[in-house]
Homo-oligomer: A and B are copies of this chain.
Amino acid sequence: MVEFFDAGDTMLQSGAVLPAVRVAYRTYGQLNAARDNAIVYPTHYAGTHDSNAWAIGTGKALDPEQYFIIVPNMLGNGQSSSPSNTPAPFDGPRFPLVTVFDNVCLQHRLVTEVFGLSTLALVTGHSMGALQTFQWAALFPEMVQRIAPFCGSARTSRHNWLFLEGCKSALLADAAFAGGDYTAPPVVGIRAFARVYAGWAWSQTFFRQQLDRETLGLPSLEAFLTHAWEPSFQAHDANNLLAMLATWQAADISAAAPFNGDFAAALNSISARAVVMPCQTDLYFPPDDSAIEVAHMPNARLHVIPSIWGHMAGGGINPEDAAFIDAALAQILSQ
């Protein structure tokens, strides 16, 4: 069941104030008496709390019988404060830039003010959830005992920014977007956005081996795009898609004080025990970036997911990848 944390008027990293901010979240399990069994598991791009459910369950590493698992929805996703649900004057395209830093500050208020937590056993997440995971560890090193970011990074690389810029440009090419004040969904632009995105989400090998057919039972790439991939994007408000994209493009754990752009110093400040899991074939969070990050982190281990599923290795669809991640989560939680 989804719940809401009313954070009130919130000053953002940019200095802007967003009124009446709400963070939607879902919890699994019970907080123990020592209040030391909490896990935070933020959502990925265009995901909700439900998108993370695959990794949570009895017998899994994220076991609700053992842990109290909080899944906060990222702002912009349509559940938490977003362009689509924020009243004027911050509605639609007037929704301000919300950073990963802002999301994590709000999540910190949620876990401290609502649940009275002073320690987190683990923060973990996929993709933009991994961006938030790194940010948690850099911002609250005393509080975060362990992190397990998968298919993500501590800042958005220049190439990743460029991939996103392509997606954004495709959506904005649709005049029906009307600067964000559309009267009906800009379906052509969202379709283009989805088709651009599709080329990045898996690996070249995934498509060479025709795993799209095997997995989904669809006869062609065209059918895959039309019947499986595009509808998942058309389900989103266009301004929401762009708000989350802006969050992504701006992500950088070193942007805030005291690091002021010193990325190595920001990484070096992450004292949490960490297992960093890029996928071997991820096209926008390639393992090279993770290796560089791990080299600057004092207590981190690089643990590459050996998969041809590319970025989607972290999506929970492929059983082998899900098992790999689950095993790594179990291991780090046992340490």
Contacts and interface: CB of A to CB of B under 8 A. Distances in A.
Interface stretch (A38-46, A193-201, A313-321): A193-201
Interface stretch (A29-37, A63-71, A122-130, A161-169): A161-169
A159 B208 contact: yes
Nearest to A230: B169
A288 B195 CA distance: 24
A286 interface: yes
Contact of A169 (B195, B207, B208, B286): B195
A189 B165 contact: no
Contacts of A173: 170-171, 173-174, 188-189, 191-192
Interface in A6-40: none
A207 B162 contact: yes
Interface of A: 157-163, 165-167, 169-176, 188-189, 191-192, 195-200, 202-208, 210, 221, 225, 283-284, 286, 288-289
Contacts of A167: 196
Nearest to A200: B199
A221 B162 contact: yes
Contacts of A157: 204, 207-208
Nearest to A208: B157
